[in-house]
């Protein structure tokens, strides 16, 4: 049976590997701000903000390096693709997602990552996705118009696979098989956690690409959450980019 909770607009459902059963629990993608570069220099007796530091570094050759007004400067740098100034400040976020999505995230080579290791720790959860229909005209797109019977079939298929996977994975560990070997039994829906650190420059381009509708919906939702964090941390840059 398709879970009533899934019909309530939730995107994911998870199975717990820790328990012996496969009781469904709701899961939403999780994103959390971990850190932003914290400048240590003061201008007019005030510590610079992260964006103030970008402007301060951009004005390295200017006699007005300490000017507190940098709205126009950051907009100018964006307009003229003077991207290196945006490499002066970093942001790190924590992302909880599935192994179906994390390889897409890891492709963004200008970032630095730490990801949960299935070699050293037991996998915790298997996510279940609400299915969408393949768009026959655009292979990068999927449509939210599947009939209930197909959704139920897919939900049950995920449940069967998760149950089988958990049983065999747990048995493998009980037999003393190394986690790095046992993990080949796990599906792509297995949950993972990553720390993703990058410069403001990298985040700008990541967010432009991954909030676009050509990106898989589950990844788009992660990027949209990170975009909210970015906009709160870098309001002048976000405004110069006309982000809303």
Choice between 92 and 202, CB closer to ligand FAD: 202
For residues 75 and 81, what is the distance between their CA atoms, to the nearest angstrom? Answer: 10
Phi, psi (deg, nearest 5) at residue 90: -115, 155
Q: Is 210 a residue of the active site?
A: yes
CA angle, residues 106, 77, 52, in degrees to nearest 5: 85
Q: Which two tokens stand for residue 176?
A: 């003393």
Question: Up-side HSE of residue 21: CA atoms within 13 Å toward CB?
Answer: 3
Given a contact cutoff of 8 angstroms between Cβ atoms, the answer to whether 91 and 33 are in contact is yes
Least distance (Å) between residue 180 CB and ligand FAD: 25
Between 65 and 140, name the residue whose CB sits nearer to ligand FAD.
Answer: 140
Which residues are at the interface with ligand FAD (CB under 6 A)? 83, 107-111, 140, 201-202, 205-206, 209, 214-215
Q: Which is nearer to ligand FAD, 68 or 103 (CB)?
A: 103
d(CA 132, CA 188): 17
Between residues 62 and 138, which has the closer beta carbon with respect to ligand FAD?
A: 138
Which residues are designated catalytic? Answer: 210
């Amino acid at each position: 049976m398709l879970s009533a909770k899934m019909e309530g607009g939730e995107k994911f459902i998870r199975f717990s590997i820790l328990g012996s059963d496969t009781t469904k629990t709701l899961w939403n993608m999780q994103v959390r701000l971990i850190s932003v570069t914290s400048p240590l220099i003061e201008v007019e007796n005030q510590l610079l903000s992260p964006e103030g530091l970008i402007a301060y570094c951009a004005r390295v050759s200017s006699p007005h390096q300490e000017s507190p007004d940098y709205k126009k400067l950051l907009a100018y740098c964006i307009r003229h693709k003077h991207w290196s100034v945006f490499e002066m400040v970093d942001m790190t976020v924590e992302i909880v997602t599935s192994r179906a999505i994390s390889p897409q995230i890891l492709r963004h080579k200008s970032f630095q990552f730490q990801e949960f290791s299935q070699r050293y720790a037991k996998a915790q959860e298997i996510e279940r996705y609400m299915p969408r229909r393949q768009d026959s005209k655009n292979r990068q797109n999927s449509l939210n118009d599947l009939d209930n019977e197909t959704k139920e079939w897919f939900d049950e298929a995920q449940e069967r696979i998760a149950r089988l996977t958990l049983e065999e994975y747990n048995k493998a560990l009980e037999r003393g098989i190394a986690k790095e070997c046992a993990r080949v039994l796990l599906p792509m829906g297995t949950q993972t956690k990553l720390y993703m650190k990058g410069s403001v420059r990298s985040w700008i381009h990541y967010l432009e690409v991954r909030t676009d509708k050509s990106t898989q919906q589950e990844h788009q939702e992660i990027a949209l959450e990170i975009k909210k964090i970015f906009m709160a941390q870098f309001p002048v840059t976000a405004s110069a980019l006309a982000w809303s």
